[in-house]
Structures are given as C-alpha cells and as structure tokens.
Amino acid sequence: MKKLSLIIGIVIINLAFFGSVFADNIDENAAKQAEDLQKQLIKIKCSKIKFQIDKTKVNDRLTRVNYGQSYESILNNYMTPINLRLVENRYHKTDLLVKETHNFENNLNQFRSKYKKYYKKIDKLSNINCQENTDEFYKTLKEVQTSRKNVKQEIIELEDSFDNYQKTFQEIINEK
C-alpha cells in the first residue's frame, strides 16, 4: 500500500512538473507564432502601416507642441508668479509650494526628454523598409510602442504633479 502511494505521488509530481514545462513550451510557441503572424501582416500591409506611422508621427508632434506650450504656460504664468506672491506676502510653508513647483519642472524636463527619445524612434521606424526588413521593423515598432507609453506616463505624472501643487496651494491659503 505504501509502495502504491509512493508511485502515485511520483506520477503526480512528474505530471505537475512536465505539465508545467509543456505549458510553458505552449506559451512560448504561441507567442512565437503570434509574433510571426504579426510580421507577416506587416509585410502584407506595409504601405498602410507606413502611412499610419507617418500620420501618427505628425499628430504626436502637434500634440507634443500643444502639451509643451500648456505646461510651460502653467509653470511660467501660474506657478512661478503665485510662488513669488506668496513669499512676498509672507505666507507660511511656501517652501512646500516651491518643492511642488520643482517637481513639476522636473517632470516637464522628463516629458521633453522622453518625447525626444520617442520621436527619434518613430522617425527611425518611418525610415525602415517594412517589406525588406520586417524583423528590424517589428523590433523598432515594439520599441516605439514602449517609448510612447513612457511619454504617456510622463503626462500622467505631470498632471499629478500639478494636482499636488494645487492641493498644496489650497492648504497654504486656507491656513492664513
């Protein structure tokens, strides 16, 4: 009876181990097949994809300019003058507001930097021949997608930073 329990235990352990190895292989194979399919679609729809990339590149550049101008305006026409006025009027805890302003400015610099990296990558992508260099195109496309997500995340961080500035401002005003 003990021997039978031992054998059943060994079989279960082997099934669990080899089953998970097999499942991992299936996941890897499925991912590889999906990637291969995407590369085939890139070759087939190359001209449409290139058109869409060029369109995205132009639209993103305009959007970046609009965001950049808005954030610059917030920093230069809103935050800095308010900080100076509060300091002149001797409000307490203005150092917290200045800290939030620096955070916003740092996030703005990160936004600029990440956008430049994104733009270089999408520019590189738009110059790759997707018919002849499908693997390179696919790899660069993945990099562009990641880089674009990074820019979007930085926009979220800028908005959060501005929200923090506004909350701090309200706290300072409410204390006086």
Model confidence pLDDT, tens digit, residues 93-108: 888 999 999 999 999 9
Contacts by 110-117, CB closer than 8 A, 24 or more apart: 110/154, 110/157, 111/67, 111/68, 111/71, 111/151, 111/154, 111/155, 111/158, 112/68, 114/147, 114/150, 114/151, 114/154, 115/64, 115/151, 115/154, 117/147, 117/150
Residues 32 and 118 in one domain: no
Torsion over CA: 78, 79, 81, 85 (sign): positive
Q: Domain of 7?
A: 1-44
Check if the beta carbon of residue 121 is closer than 8 Å to that of residue 140. yes
Structurally, the chain folds into a number of domains equal to 2
Cα 26 from chain centroid (whole Å): 29
Query: Which amino acid belongs to residue 127?
Result: N
Q: What is the pTM of this model?
A: 0.76
- pLDDT of 44 reads 77
Residue 5 CB: number of other CB atoms within 10 A? 9
Question: Does 18 share its domain with 76?
Answer: no
- Work out the pLDDT band at 86, boundaries 50, 70, 90: confident
| 66 and 85 together in one domain | yes
Chosen domain end from 10, 27, 44 = 44
Tell me the chain's radius of gyration from C-alpha atoms: 27
Same-domain check for residues 55 and 137 = yes
* Shared-domain flag, residues 67 and 153: yes
Quick one: 33 and 53 in the same domain? Answer: no
Are residues 60 and 95 located together in one domain of the fold?
Answer: yes
Q: Assess whether 97 and 129 both reside in one domain.
A: yes
**Does residue 28 sit in the same domain as residue 61?**
no
Residues 37 and 52 in one domain: no
Contact call for residues 92 and 175 (beta carbons, < 8 A): yes
H helical segments located in 2-93:
2-44, 46-73, 80-88
Q: Which tens digits make up the pLDDT trace of 18-61?
A: 444 444 445 677 667 767 777 777 777 888 888 998 999 999 99
Q: Are residues 40 and 95 in the same domain?
A: no
Indicate if 98 and 157 belong to the same structural domain.
yes
